[in-house]
Structure 1
Amino acid sequence: MEENAPAGGATARRILVVDDEPTIAESVAARLRAEGFTVDTAHDGPAAVAAVTTFDPDLVVLDVMLPGYDGLEVCRRIQAERSVPVLMLTARTDETDQLVGLGVGADDYLTKPFSLRVLTARVHALLRRVERAGAHNGTMITVVGDLRIDADQRRVWRGGTEAQLTPLEFDLLARLARRPRAVLARERLLEEVWDWADAAGTRAVDSHIKALRRKLGADLIRTVHGVGYALEAR
């Protein structure tokens, strides 16, 4: 592992980069350091889990294919300890693999090969979203039909049963719940939930919607083909 702190003793967000290919790990780490982040690297599953404990990152960039145990298992283990944003890197384009990653606690994913510019933009967007969530003060309860959302505790129940959502799943659901039955375009959701300025990641919206349906019920969110999604109350 290798850490590089910013000059001048300034406090910087800490990012753990996990990839079994040292060239890729160091290339990503170098770009993130140039953005002002403090970066550590790990190259296998056990080292990644250990680094989360010792390095205490604000965000993890995590490759799926790792020796020791894979990125999905790493994500399960670190999310069981504490909630930390995870940007997953995968060489797999199959949607099922991406949904599995989202299901174990990843917030976002990039398919290899990817541009460092896009990765950096995703990292900044995830961290901005975390900052917004942390800035919330006071209790806010939203009830839509049999759905109950506690914005202060970031907890969700449907029909009295609590669902375990990832941070990004929670933010997406909360955004839809602000205007029940209103159709929100994928592009608008990307801009307001992910902080993305373009529509390049619309499949990320679709994947997270599928994860929400799996956890809360297939009838909760309605698809408007060619447009976006709406939260249904009953």
Structure 2
Amino acid sequence: MKKILLIEDDKQLSMLVQDFLQKYGYDVNVPSDFQHIIEQYHSYQPELVLLDINLPYYDGYYLCRSIRQISNVPIIIISARNADMDQILAIELGADDYITKPFTFDILHSKIKATVRRVYGEYAEKDGMILEVGPLKINSQTMTIAYQGTKLELSKNEFLLLKKMVEQHNAYIPREVLMEEVWDTITFVDDNTLTVNITRIKKKLATLGLHDVISSKRGVGYRLNVSVGN
């Protein structure tokens, strides 16, 4: 039974979502004290968070960033805000997916199932925790990269993107494939969102001393090229 923290101030919607998800075996906790959400997060220790943006005391962006600072738990934003920039900001702050209101419960359930499969189930990392390409190492458990004794943390999205490039290093991976690897669907994800995440990965690799190891080709995609000599 997966534990879901539903952070939504619309009481009627919260009750409907809670009742619906409980029918599928989820344990759904709905906080009523929006001033102490992080404390409730620590107490409940959910395995997935459903998070609205417009909330009392702290908005969903602040809570998404705060949760991401302490955990890699998957976060799905559910919001009436449907502007591209709202969705891009949520993704950049560490959200795993974004659903705009109004939505059907079937869509919500499919998003939850896809996220759970990717993070905990059949699509989760089942092999060794350490992935290597040349001298670069990625730890799938801690979501860190290491090179020549220096280690840096990755966000969940950065980890998933870099992991995909490591698994297929020296080959160009289409942008659509990378986007689907992280967000399951590319229907709501602005193309610039992927570019922003790739830029962040490049900066972190450069901080480690690996400069220009990710190349791009217009109309093709991105390629990671880390040789033994790097």
TM over 0.5: yes
Q: Which amino acid aligns with 2:224?
A: L
Q: CA deviation at 1:89?
A: 2.2
1:87-142 deviations in Å (ceiling 9; x for gaps): 11233344443333233332222233333222211111111122258764545242
Q: Is this contact kept in 1: 2:143–2:153, CA < 8 A?
A: no
Q: CA deviation at 1:185?
A: 3.3
Q: Which amino acid aligns with 2:8?
A: D
In structure 1, the residue corresponding to 2:28 is in which secondary structure? strand
Q: Which amino acid aligns with 2:21?
A: L
After TM superposition, where is structure 1 displaced by more than 6 Å over at least 4 residues in a row? none
Percent of matched pairs sharing the same residue: 32
Alpha carbons of 1:78 and 1:191: their partners in 2 closer, same or farther (altered >3 Å)? closer
Of 96-105 and 30-39, more deviation after overlay is shown by 96-105
* Alignment partner, residue 16 of structure 1: 5
Q: Which amino acid aligns with 1:57?
A: P
**Match for residue 133 of structure 2 among 143, 147, 154:** 143
Instruction: Please give the alpha-carbon distance, in whole angstroms, between the structure 1 residues aligned to 2:100 and 2:214.
Output: 26
Q: CA deviation at 1:38?
A: 0.9
* Alignment partner, residue 4 of structure 1: none
* Alignment partner, residue 73 of structure 1: 62
Q: Is this contact kept in 2: 1:19–1:62, CA < 8 A?
A: yes
**Structure 2 runs not aligned, ≥5 long:** 207-211
Alpha carbons of 1:83 and 1:188: their partners in 2 closer, same or farther (altered >3 Å)? closer
**Match for residue 211 of structure 1 among 191, 197, 216:** 197
TM-score under structure 2 normalisation? Answer: 0.75
Instruction: Please give the alpha-carbon distance, in whole angstroms, between the structure 1 residues aligned to 2:61 and 2:116.
Output: 21
Q: Is this contact kept in 2: 1:141–1:148, CA < 8 A?
A: yes
* Alignment partner, residue 115 of structure 1: 104
Alpha carbons of 1:191 and 1:30: their partners in 2 closer, same or farther (altered >3 Å)? same
Q: May I ask how many residue pairs the two structures share in their alignment?
A: 219
Q: CA deviation at 1:63?
A: 0.9
1:64-103 deviations in Å (ceiling 9; x for gaps): 1111111122122223333311111233344443333233
* Alignment partner, residue 200 of structure 1: 187
Indicate the RMSD between aligned Cα atoms, in angstroms.
3.3
* Alignment partner, residue 91 of structure 1: 80
Of 41-50 and 110-119, more deviation after overlay is shown by 41-50
* Alignment partner, residue 53 of structure 1: 42
